Amino acid sequence: MSEEATQRVDGLINVLTALGTDRDKATHTHAAWVQPLDPMTLRALYRGSKYVGRICDLPAAEATREGWTVDAEAEINDTQNERILRDWQSLELTQKLRKADAWSAAFGGAAVVLGLLDGSESQSEPTDVRRISRVLWARVLHRWQLRPVSWYSDPAADRFGEVEEYEVISYGLANAAVMTRERVHESRVLPFRGVELPAEDLASVDYWGDPRTQRVWEAVRAMGVVEQGSETAMHELRIFVLKLRLLELLEQDGDATVLRRLDLINQSKSVVNGILLDEGEDATQLTVDLSGAAAMYDRFAQSVAAAAEMPMTLLFGHAPAGLSTDDKSGTRYFYNRIRARQVDAYAPNIARAWQYLAAARGYMLDEAPLVSFNSLEQESGLVQSQRHKTEAETDYLYWQADGLEDPRGRVLQQQQDDEVV
């Protein structure tokens, strides 16, 4: 028995085909470090790629589409809530949270920075909620405009190891980066981070996260090749094959004679809708076979949807081929992801901003309010009517099981008694 065979006791070895040996092609496949996309490429893809733009924008749009409810228990009444809501709308916080989330997917991180008037001498000081008198502005910055510079270093602190301060980088009118050296405390920032990375890789993304664009880029690039190839095939759908006496034409006047002959053929197609041929010449038309192109397009489209973790019905506007033509399972999975994003990223930021706006109105909250999100899946009119009918029938069965009278009769009797009185 060879030495290689004695080492591989849990696999198969074939010395003739090199299976399982050091000559096996599969053994030379290794995971390689992927070069991160640079900022210019990320911005170009977000602006120019219809797929990348949709992959980044659509989840954020869905997360904010149906809104949410902020519950501050009994500390704030309806009138006070309406005042806070007007302040929220005047700052356009919903739109800015949505933009920050979309930019975090495109670039790896973004945040809404709040301008708080709380008596602090510098924006680098922690926010004193009790002294907030006004929320002046809210601005969306991506991760190249907002760089973490310090972290909580006290092991006993609740937020040990998390970002404590950011440094703002502003862009001038000439689009030249100007380091302002102004620091902002994290309590004034509503952050959205990209794909989470191990601690060893955080420095490469400025301690934010990986852009989702990075993960879908290979699939999107392959999809672009398929679409470009299909477009080229459409331009060359019909090809004319001409059989001419080239040797005789070349002997007469070289290339000029051949070009004049081709020009004459082209003119005859336009004038008489035919081709004038000489004796011994022939012309045929070949059609490119596009059978299987649709299936290939669908497979690459599914690859993009899988990389983006989005249903094809939302990403491409049509359902995938196969048994599950409505893509319900994919849509349900996508909405579950959106719900998790709402709870993890949106809820803390909404609660913090709402607490600051309440404080600016003079309504002090002992703790951050609870945020609950409305359902993303909306029922059709038919489904709603069927659900209401089922609920009514179920209630009626409960009344009968308890030996009670028909609730509809009790309501009518009560109305009659009220009229008599």
119-132 pLDDT, tens digit per residue, is: 988 899 999 999 99
Looking at per-residue pLDDT, the higher value among 146 and 285 belongs to 146
Q: For residue 75, what are the contacts with CB-CB under 8 A and spacing of at least 6? A: 363, 365, 366
* Greatest alpha-carbon span in the chain: 119
What share of the chain has pLDDT > 90, as a percent? 42
Please give the torsion angle defined by the CA atoms of residues 71, 73, 75 and 80, in that order, rounded to the nearest 10 degrees. Answer: 30
- pLDDT surpassing 50 at residue 378: yes
- As a whole number of angstroms, the distance between CA 168 and CA 146 comes to 5
Over residues 376-389, the mean pLDDT reads 76
Q: So what's the pLDDT on residue 172?
A: 58
pTM of the complete model: 0.76
Q: What is the average pLDDT value for the chain, to the nearest integer?
A: 82
Give every CB contact of residue 390 below 8 A, 6+ residues apart in sequence.
Answer: none
Confidence band for 174, pLDDT divided at 50, 70 and 90: low
The phi, psi pair for 113, rounded to 5°, reads -95, 130
pLDDT score for 240: 72
Residue range 242-262: mean pLDDT, rounded? 71
In tens, the pLDDT along 131-163 reads 999 999 999 999 999 999 999 998 888 888 889
Q: How far apart are CA 370 and CA 378, in angstroms?
A: 23
